[in-house]
């Protein structure tokens, strides 16, 4: 489009009256070269605006494509099963709420932060109650073998690490509960799993007749009894966390959808404005063009007759844009070149030129492909004949 506009200016032989106020050309309107530069600058500006609009459109399209994909995944039973199997409190789901995305507003971020703080406080209370259970177990008279890491070297347990892949002890658990870094437990179930690991390790390494095995078994049973008393509160909190996480996600999606909807509306408005500017520029360029000669109109008619059916329909649509009474869909069209406006004639000329050039390229490409195919067939036939002759001669 930009090349066509500039080319139209190059066709001008004599400047006409200055363009309307919308034309952003230099003050020296009598200088054709200056006017061409002005048109080119306007074209560059329009191209830049079109690039920005393309980015916005891509953002809207990507959002809806991702949303559609997410909806499809939600309907996939395999995905649902995996979600059910995912342990509560692992990975990013340890947090009560997620940080709001780039499209969420400050209010959503503030709400998410407050909910996360409240959720963390509730989880800390559960951990405090679990700590009471932990003290009751560690104060038992049989808890002493499990307080510190197993002295593998001192006890000469050479096969310990071959049997026990993840050693655990109460001292390690206590350190993780008290630390302030990322090593800290995120929820009660993580601590519960490590407490069980202490006893199952001891029962795995030592046979049933061993005192350590019996001590671990007894303490594990006592722990499970106390854990069952706390478990309803844990389940209640986990359910509450899931509901809050789901609500935060819904809120974030609502904000994102509102932003995307606003972006789509703004993009539509900007696109209409860009089309209006483009139309003004086209009219300005046509005003600068000389009138088309009779010979040029004749050549244009010949060019139209050589168009493909698809391109011919597009050319007829160009004519219909400036002539509402023109029937571009009729089976037979009687086209009077002299009755067309200069704007229509010049638009047709550049369209026909580009269309015929593209047709020529396509024809050349097809001819090259046919020639290459014929050569391949000839080579194959020659090769086959050579093999046959060689076989006969032998």
Per-residue pLDDT of the chain (394 residues; tens, 9 = 90+): 444 444 444 454 344 444 444 444 333 345 666 766 777 788 888 888 888 888 888 888 888 888 777 777 666 654 455 444 444 334 333 444 334 344 445 655 565 666 667 777 888 899 899 999 999 999 999 999 999 999 999 999 999 999 999 999 999 999 999 888 888 898 899 999 999 999 999 999 999 999 999 999 999 999 999 999 999 999 999 899 888 888 888 888 888 888 888 888 888 888 888 888 887 877 777 666 678 888 988 888 888 888 888 888 888 888 888 777 776 665 666 778 888 888 788 888 889 999 999 988 888 888 778 878 888 888 888 788 777 777 777 6
Question: Which tokens in the block code for residue 205?
Answer: 């390494």
Q: What's the pLDDT tens digit per position in 43-67?
A: 888 888 888 888 888 888 888 888 7
Question: Which tokens in the block code for residue 163?
Answer: 């049997």
- Model pTM? 0.46
Question: Which tokens in the block code for residue 113?
Answer: 């932060």
How far is residue 351's CA from residue 345's CA, in Å, rounded to a whole number? Answer: 10
How far is residue 261's CA from residue 255's CA, in Å, rounded to a whole number? Answer: 10
Q: Burial of 173 by CB count in 10 Å (0-12 exposed, 13-18 middle, 19+ buried)?
A: buried
Question: Which tokens in the block code for residue 145?
Answer: 């073998």
Task: Write out the DSSP string of 333-386.
Answer: ----GGGS-HHHHHHHHHHHHHHHHHHHHHHHHHHHHHHHHHHHHHHHHHHHHH
**Structural domains in the chain?**
114-264 (1.20.920.10), 294-390 (1.20.1270.220)
Distance of CA 35 to the CA centre of its chain: 43
Say how many C-beta atoms besides its own lie within 10 A of residue 146's C-beta.
25
Exposure pattern of 346-384 as b/e (b: 16+ CB <10 Å)?
bbbbbbbeebbeeeeeeeeeeeeeeeeeeeeeeeeeeee
What's the confidence (pLDDT) of residue 321?
A: 81
Q: What's the pLDDT tens digit per position in 333-371?
A: 677 888 888 878 888 888 999 999 998 888 888 877 887
Q: What's the pLDDT tens digit per position in 171-220?
A: 999 999 988 888 889 889 999 999 999 999 999 999 999 999 999 999 99
What's the confidence (pLDDT) of residue 246?
A: 84
Q: Give the CA radius of gyration of the chain.
A: 40
């Amino acid at each position: 489009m930009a090349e066509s506009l500039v080319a139209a200016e190059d066709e001008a032989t004599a400047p006409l009256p200055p363009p309307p106020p919308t034309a952003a050309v230099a003050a020296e309107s009598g200088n054709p070269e200056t006017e061409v530069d002005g048109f080119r600058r306007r074209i560059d500006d329009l191209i830049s605006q079109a690039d920005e609009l393309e980015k916005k459109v891509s953002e809207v399209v990507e959002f809806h494509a991702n949303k559609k994909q997410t909806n499809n995944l939600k309907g996939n039973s395999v995905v649902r099963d995996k979600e059910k199997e995912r342990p509560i409190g692992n990975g990013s789901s340890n947090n009560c709420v997620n940080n709001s995305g780039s499209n969420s507003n400050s209010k959503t971020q503030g709400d998410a932060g407050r909910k996360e703080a409240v959720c963390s406080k509730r989880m800390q209370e559960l951990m405090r109650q679990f700590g009471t259970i932990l003290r009751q177990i560690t104060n038992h008279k049989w808890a002493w073998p499990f307080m510190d890491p197993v002295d593998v070297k001192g006890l000469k347990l050479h096969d310990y690490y071959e049997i026990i892949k993840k050693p655990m002890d109460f001292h390690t658990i206590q350190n993780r509960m008290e630390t302030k870094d990322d090593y800290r437990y995120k929820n009660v179930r993580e601590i519960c799993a490590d407490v069980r690991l202490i006893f199952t390790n001891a029962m795995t390494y030592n046979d049933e007749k061993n005192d350590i095995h019996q001590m671990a078994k007894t303490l594990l049973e006592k722990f499970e009894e106390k854990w069952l008393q706390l478990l309803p509160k844990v389940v209640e909190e986990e359910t509450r966390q899931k509901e809050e996480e789901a609500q935060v996600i819904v809120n974030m999606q609502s904000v994102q959808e509102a932003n995307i909807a606003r972006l789509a509306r703004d993009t539509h408005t900007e696109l209409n404005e860009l089309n209006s500017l483009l139309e003004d520029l086209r009219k300005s360029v046509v005003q600068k063009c000389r009138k088309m000669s009779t010979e040029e109109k004749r050549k244009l008619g010949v060019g139209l007759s050589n168009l493909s059916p698809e391109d011919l329909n597009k050319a007829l649509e160009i004519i219909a844009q400036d002539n509402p009474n023109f029937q571009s869909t009729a089976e037979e069209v009687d086209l009077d070149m002299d009755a067309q406006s200069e704007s229509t004639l010049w638009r047709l000329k550049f369209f026909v030129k580009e269309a015929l050039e593209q047709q020529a390229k396509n024809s050349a490409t097809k001819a090259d492909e046919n020639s290459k195919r014929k050569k391949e067939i000839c080579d194959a036939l020659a090769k086959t004949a050579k093999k046959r002759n060689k076989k006969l001669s032998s």
